[in-house]
Copies of this chain bind each other. A is one copy, B any other.
Amino acid sequence: MPAKTRTPRNTLSPELIVRTALDLMEGQGTDAFSLRGLAAELGVGPMALYTYFRNKDDLYDAVRDHLMGLIPPVPEGVAWPDQVRAVCRGLRALMLQHPCLAQLLAGRPLSGHETARVAEGLLGVLRSAGFDAQTAARTHTTLFTYVLGATSWEIQMAAERQDPQERRRLRATIESLSPTEFPTVVELTPELSRTTGGDEQFDYGLDLLLAGLQRGQQASG
């Protein structure tokens, strides 16, 4: 009784749809992605997709979980702070490589097998490092939200810097700031734009968190 096995009979399959969707999102921007465009790319009618996904959000979830599967496993044989660094950097690298991932993570709840795998890796590291259940959970959430926030910001800033119109708008905004009202902002504008994004900025914040963690660990244990 095979029954419920949805054996794709013809051209379509969930994997193909997800892969094509991902290509489109990366090629033309996440915001410009549409089910109709995806269907056209696949050479089918828009409604054909509804055989495989309940709706657009369901497809988004599938794409997100597919991407999360690309995060490398936790490295063995190194100290736990380096394991944490590896996981965080892996997630960031994936988000930079697939900018749509930032929006997919921000806009939808977590779910999916691969997403759980990543969480399992990070939580396992923290537990092995000796953190109690609550601290491990708190730290996991903190690290995850930091990576998400920092990298999303980075991606957005990078996208803007490429849009000439936005560049002009940004420059105009900065130049319109009165140096007497906002002395520090005006003074640090070059630093702010130089330090926005990049591995160094990301690692700076990550190291702050890890330093705080190790200090707390030292104090309590």
Contact = CB atoms under 8 A, between A and B. Distances in A.
Given A106-B106, A142-B205, A184 B111 contact: no
A17 interface: no
A170 B169 CA distance: 42
A213 interface: yes
A213 B120 CA distance: 29
A161 to B, nearest CB: 10
A201 interface: yes
19 contacts: A106-B152, A106-B156, A112-B173, A116-B173, A120-B181, A120-B185, A137-B194, A138-B200, A138-B201, A138-B204, A139-B208, A141-B201, A146-B205, A147-B149, A148-B152, A207-B212, A208-B213, A209-B212, A211-B212
Chain copies in complex: 2
Contacts of A127: 184, 188
For the complex, would chain A's binding face be called helix, strand, loop or mixed by DSSP majority?
A: helix
Interface residues of A, number: 63
Contacts of A24: none
Interface string A167-203: 0011001000100011111011001101110001100
Contacts of A204: 138-139, 142
Given A160-B109, A211-B211, A141 B192 contact: yes
Nearest to A216: B211
Interface of A: 106-107, 109, 111-112, 116-117, 119-120, 123-124, 127, 133-134, 136-142, 144-150, 152-153, 156-157, 160, 166, 169-170, 173, 177, 181-185, 187-188, 191-192, 194-196, 200-201, 204-205, 207-213, 215-216
Given A138-B200, A149-B150, A215-B215, 13 more contacts: A107-B156, A111-B169, A112-B173, A124-B184, A127-B184, A136-B188, A136-B191, A145-B149, A145-B150, A149-B149, A205-B209, A211-B212, A211-B216
Contacts of A212: 207-212, 215
